[in-house]
Amino acid sequence: MKKNVGFIGLGIMGKPMAKNILKAGYPLVVYSRSPGPVEEIVKLGAISANSPKQVAERSKVIITMLPDSMDVKEVILGENGIIHGAKPKSVVIDMSSINPLVTKEIERVLREKEIEMLDAPVSGGEAGAIKASLAIMVGGKKEVFEDCLEILKSMGKNIVHVGPIGAGGFVKLVNQIIVALNIAAIGEAFSLGVKAGIDPNLTFQAIRGGLAGSQILEAKLPMIFERNFKPGFKVKLHKKDLNNALCVARDLGVPLPISGFVQQIFNSLMAEGKGEEDHCSLVTFYEKISGVEIRLK
């Protein structure tokens, strides 16, 4: 018999992830601050709850997919939070991208109530969430991970247990640094090519099969060419992730000079009101200072 699953946070990523859990045949209870996505998921067979506490009361495994550390902390530990409804031996899986030090703090409080926790952030964007092809990096007890693996498989393909609680969050920060710096490299390099008068699509075709080819190039360059900045992952959220990376790096004594520079570019985009755009709009910073536009001719 499949476990009852709760899902809290039905945004760009959370809604398709919840749909895929339903498709896999799990009984699902949902809660989100916005009523629209809840109504949509309920029509597909889920049950709605009026608080995170009520989700926990009705679920064996409770998944959270929320914007930032404070949202996760409030939903799990706050008034009417998960901790007040979850039974001993139930499992909280936080799939948000948050500061792993906050994750460890939350886990310590849950442990006192005999509630298990995994941190399982994802990579793959909205497209990966829709296709159930997300990469999922999981921290926590190995036996808890194995017990929840089938649920995770309903949302992703490349699922790796990377270590104890908080390890998932640290690996996600590594991922987010690599993604941000790659998008910045695309903006910088293609601005040079366009300024030199070279068709950017021909540049793309020439390099995509070589060492410069990557999933990021394949996913984001067509969006840039089409000037499509509809968010799969928002500027403001990637800015938050880089900020978390810089904070924990400072605590660990690890210099991140290039990440710091790209963070300043994200700050510039936020000041221009681009926080809701896809993070590939980072290239517009390079376009602006170079006097070019990376688009199809």
pLDDT in tens, 209-242: 999 999 999 999 999 999 999 998 999 999 999 9
Domain limit, last residue, from 114, 146, 165: 165
Residue 237 lies in a domain: yes
Domain that holds residue 233: 170-290
User: 3-state class of 159 per DSSP?
Assistant: strand
Note whether 64 and 76 are within 8 A (CB). Answer: yes
Residue 199 has which token pair?
């068709």
Which one from 172, 220, 236, 274 is the annotated catalytic residue? 172
The DSSP element (H or E) to which 137 belongs, if any, is: strand 134-139
pLDDT for 206: 98
Query: How many CB atoms neighbour CB 195 within 10 A?
Result: 12
Mean pLDDT of 152-160: 98
The string of pLDDT tens digits covering residues 65-104 is: 999 999 999 999 999 999 999 999 999 999 999 999 999 9
Predicted confidence (pLDDT) per residue in 23-37, tens digit:
999 999 999 999 999
How big is the chain by its Cα radius of gyration, in Å? 20
Active site residue 239: no
The answer to whether residue 296 is domain-embedded is no
Sorting pLDDT into bands at 50, 70 and 90, what band is 297? confident
Residues 6+ apart with CB under 8 A from 66: 8, 9, 72, 75, 94, 96, 98
Q: How many domains does the chain have?
A: 2
Contact 57, 8 (CB under 8 A): no
Its pTM stands at 0.93
HSE-up of 193 (CA within 13 Å, CB side)? 18
Q: What's the mean per-residue pLDDT of the chain?
A: 97
Q: Which of 165, 194, 228 is the endpoint of a domain?
A: 165
The reply to whether 297 falls in a domain is no
